[in-house]
Amino acid sequence: MSAVFLASVLAITAPQDLPAQLSDVVVEGRRPDPRLTVSVTGAIPVEVIVRSDPAGIRCGAARFQYEPFAAPRLCWVRRPQGEMITLTVEGMDRLGPGWVAEWEGCEPRAAPTQCSILVPPGGASINVRIHRA
């Protein structure tokens, strides 16, 4: 019954130049932007997070992923290929002297709490390990 109904709807609403076969159908579209993923490790408090510029990532240690009464942790974002993303560790000043951020998957900047990456076509995974030097 539903096939008959669908056929009658197509007959009423479809233009006269329908493809003769499924192989004649052309689907056009755009792939989603590449995905940039961040993971944060280390014995750090909930206040230490990584933020991105442009905005989109707000990621802390995985054990705080569902921290009640805090803003949600967003550890991935889709951004256009070739866009420059800067990541910054915020809150390290609360840890005291001797703490460092080791970046993997992006280029460290002059400030040791920052790194940058041009979003590659296939996306990227960035790890930051925060620990005592």
Task: Give the Cα separation of 74 and 110 in Å (integer).
Answer: 25
Tens digit of each residue's pLDDT (9 = 90 or more) over 2-33:
444 444 444 445 556 666 677 777 878 777 89
Residue with tokens 């921290």: 67
Task: Give the Cα separation of 128 and 65 in Å (integer).
Answer: 16
Tens digit of each residue's pLDDT (9 = 90 or more) over 74-100:
899 999 999 999 999 999 988 989 999
Tens digit of each residue's pLDDT (9 = 90 or more) over 104-132:
999 999 999 999 999 999 999 999 999 99
Q: Determine the pLDDT at residue 28.
A: 80
Is residue 53 predicted with pLDDT exceeding 50? yes
Residue 32 is given by DSSP the state P
